[in-house]
Structure 1
Amino acid sequence: MRKIIGLGIAVLIVVALWTAGWFWAADQARQQVALLAQNDGETAPQLTCGTFNVSGYPFRFDFTCDKAQLVSGDETITVDGIKASVLTYSPNHVIFSARSPYTMANAFTGSQSQFDFTGFEGSARLEARDLIKGLSGEGWRIGRISVLADGIVWNDTVVTPVLQAKADHIEAHLVDIPELHDKTKGLAGLAAYLNVKGLVAPAFQITAGEGSLDAQVSGLPDDLQAFTDPNAVRNWQAAGGTLTLVKLAGTQPQPDERFEIKGNAHLTEAGLVAGEITYVTKGVLDRFAGLMPPLQLIALKGKPEADGSFSNAMSFVDGQLKLLAVPVLEIPPLF
């Protein structure tokens, strides 16, 4: 009997400590949001919520901010609602969602935009280089960040709504590449994926486009704190970092257009871009007809292929993008 009573008391103590810890953490979250609301929006961003709530006891934290507004300098952003959820036993993994509309206004330029969507959700997970040191905030890197959105409509709203673009579905992922993680050197790599379906952009004469991106970056620091270092770009070059464009592609049926770009780039010791890109296009570069001399357009399009497409290559040499050894673009040193 004594053992049972002792076990019961132990359980009650654990439950009491767990409950106290949960409500303490929830109160800390409320205080932090309240502090953000006190910022002036100039020297520090100001975030306010029409209502802010924390729920999910006992195994989850659900943070809900309705009628959210972020002011930073001349920029004001509003979102109808934001929700983020974290499991108490897995605080490095956040699931989030949002309700439209999402608006942006710039007091300096006078620009105003509104984004509407039928669905917006995502998740973010961090990985620790060392769990013990990670408790102090050291050695955290991106494990995975994913965002999915449906029924997106972007309108310019300065006067009346003017459609800028819309898409049926957008999906984006930023993923850690385990084989590129060098714990000894403190380096990591990321892969980026983007997929867009049902894209409409009147200004670019896109009526039913689809696009995708597959890229990788190596030589990144495996500590997110290092990205704030003023010498972050220089350090990336010194670590032998590379950007690989596995594939950037787009297509639409009417008019029949498509493109596919591949390439890689890195920085020289002087901070200049070096690398090469190859591309295949069909119909896309014909948009420049009348805007540039015919011979230049032919050189830009490159070699004609049997399927009606054209293929070509360019190279980055000491910050200059060259086509057939002729500079067409110059990028200044990045550090």
Structure 2
Amino acid sequence: MIDPAKTDATATVDAARPRSARRKFQFVIVAALLLCAIWAGGWFWANRIASERIAAMKADFVAEGGVLGCNAESLGGFPFKFTLDCAPASLELPSKGLKAQVGAMEAIALIYNPGHVLASVQGPLALKAPGDLGVEANWTSLQTSVRVGTSRLKRFSAVADDLTTTINAPANPRLPTAASAKHAELHLLQNDADATALDLAGTVDNFAATIPGAPPLPALSAKLYAILPGALPELRDGHVDPLPAWIAAGGQVKLGQLSLDVGGFLANASGDLTVAPDGVISGKVAIRVDQLEKLPDLAETIHPGSRDQVAQILGPLSAFLKPVQVDGKTWRETTLTIKNGKVSAGFIPLGRLPPLRLGTAAAIAGS
């Protein structure tokens, strides 16, 4: 038999379940709407703060005599990022004789990672610098990325494809008049083991340059990885000047890899170097080479009249080159000693490295 009391209780429970489910669903909807409202309010508040910061930076730049140009500026990116678009973008510092303009620029900051800023720049670039230096450049892609920690730069990266430039430098006729690269990258990173050390990595593929009065140079490809201890000081007012800090820390260069491929001549170098406040280089470098027989013709192309001199050096130098197997390839290896800019392999002098131009900041740091 059916118990009427149980039947009524079951009906009551069944009627209560839909009401309970509706309340939960309504609560989820209200919570979601409230969260969206808080998120939107926070985004617009942060957007206003960002707008004020950008306006303050512009005001400081103008107060120093600078001029900023942006014909079409917009700040957006709701709801998960902030974007700043400017087309075309230009800046000018008349006191320093500097003026630059690009076709367009877009900067992106992720709202959940405000210390990471991405930027994309569209060409062409028109640059005027002191000494009547003029540069025009274009590319198919140019992107940068900056990550900043609480007190130091974490990472800076720049990647460019199909880069072409023309250079006009009346004051320095030795500069190239044109340069190009199929691909180029530059990465500056905070070292994992030493927060004050800077990791430097870069690569360039099919780099070519035209130098006035010189024959066409062969295309060059290169890779670089090095550590610069002490070259990553703390940020001060959003600015950092690594050169004086690096020189004051000893100007050390821990060269992990420098590889070159130019005209079929291959070279790899690694070692420890130091750079003095006056730019003079010292240290020891292990170097591996391949296709050494191509070096005299390459030297003649770069510096006409040097073929015979380089060929004469290669004879005795070969005695210091021992064969080594690396990645299934036979290289010739030796160690170069650099003392106050003078380069030698054993007792054979190879020439002198010109001092680096470090500027007055490095000289002050080393004083």
Range into which the TM-score falls when normalised by the shorter chain = 0.7 to 0.9
Instruction: Tell me, yes or no, if the aligned pair for 1:39 and 1:46 is still in contact at 8 Å.
Output: no
Q: Which has the higher helix share?
A: 2
Matching of residue 52 in structure 1 with residue 68 in structure 2: no
Aligned length: 307
Q: Distance in 2 between matches of 1:37 and 1:189?
A: 30
CA shift, 1:100, in A, is: 0.7
Q: CA RMSD in A?
A: 4.0
Moved more, 241-250 or 7-16: 7-16
Q: Structure 1-normalised TM-score?
A: 0.73
Counterpart for residue 89 of structure 1: 112
Kindly, what percent of the aligned residue pairs are identical?
Answer: 17
**Inter-partner Cα distance in structure 1 for 2:154 and 2:138:** 28
Equivalent position of 1:102 in the other structure: 125
CA shift at 1:232, angstroms? 0.8
Residue 76 (str. 1) matches residue 84 (str. 2): no
C-alpha deviation, 1:105, in angstroms: 0.9
Call closer, same or farther: CA 1:300–1:175 in 2, change over 3 Å: farther
- Residue aligning to 1:31: 52
1:190 and 2:193 correspond: no
2:221 aligns with one of 211, 233, 238 = 211
Tell me the distance in 1 between the aligned counterparts of 2:283 and 2:138: 39
Query: Helix, strand or coil for the counterpart of 1:193?
Result: strand
Higher mean C-alpha displacement, 4-13 vs 116-125: 4-13
TM-score where L is the length of structure 2: 0.67
Mark the runs of 5 or more structure 2 residues left unpaired by the alignment. Answer: 1-21, 171-175, 324-330, 357-361
Which letter maps to 1:65?
C
**Which residue of the partner structure matches residue 161 of structure 2?**
150
Identify if the C-alpha distance between structure 1 residues 71 and 264 changes in structure 2 by more than 3 Å, giving closer, same or farther.
farther
Deviation at 1:78, TM superposition (A): 0.5
Matched, 1:16 2:23: no
Q: How does 1:218-229 map to 2 (within 5 A)?
A: 218-220=228-230, 224-225=234-235, 227-228=240-241
The Cα of 1:89 is off from its aligned counterpart by 0.7
Opposite residue 275 of structure 1, the aligned amino acid is: G
1:288 Cα shift? 6.0
Structure 1 unaligned spans of 5+:
129-133
Q: Which residue of the partner structure matches residue 169 of structure 1?
A: 183
Deviation digits for residues 27-53 of structure 1 (CA, Å, limit 9, x no counterpart): 333334334444566946543322221
Structure 1 residue identity aligned to 2:142? F
Task: Find out whether 1:258 has 2:271 as its counterpart.
Answer: no
Q: 1:242 aligns with which of 247, 253, 269?
A: 253
When you count strand as a share of all residues, which structure comes out higher? 1
Letter in 1 for 2:245: A
Looking at structure 2, the residues matched to 223 and 268 of structure 1 have their Cα atoms a distance apart, in angstroms, of 18
Name which one, 1 or 2, has greater alpha-carbon Rg: 2
